[in-house]
Amino acid sequence: MKELKDEYKPGGAKRQYILDKAVNYLRDNKLMATQQARHAFCTDELMMTETEYLECLNKATNGEFLNSI
């Protein structure tokens, strides 16, 4: 099992790179993963907080949630 390098962990210098990649991962409809599996990957493997995850999910859906409020 791979482990995140320190620069990609929360507070690391390259954390934004991981968050940007997560947006693409959440947006990709070709994956056969469920939303629950994607959430688990982001929070468990990428060590994302719920806030980071929700921000990435919002960006992946083009911000439609905020526009609907």
Structural domains of the chain, count? 1
Q: For residues 69 and 40, what is the distance between their CA atoms, to the nearest angstrom?
A: 27
Spatial distance between the Cα atoms of 59 and 12, rounded to a whole number of angstroms: 21
pLDDT mean for each 10 residues of the chain (69 residues): 87 93 87 88 94 92 62
Query: Which segments of 1-69 does DSSP mark as H helices, in order?
Result: 15-27, 35-40, 50-60, 64-68
Structure tokens at 40: 């688990």
Position 66 scores a pLDDT of 54
pLDDT for 52 equals: 95
pTM of the model: 0.80
Instruction: Give the structural domain span for 17.
Output: 6-61
pLDDT of residue 7: 94
Instruction: Report CA-CA distances (Å) from 53 to 1, 9, 23, 61.
Output: 22, 14, 9, 12
pLDDT score for 1: 63
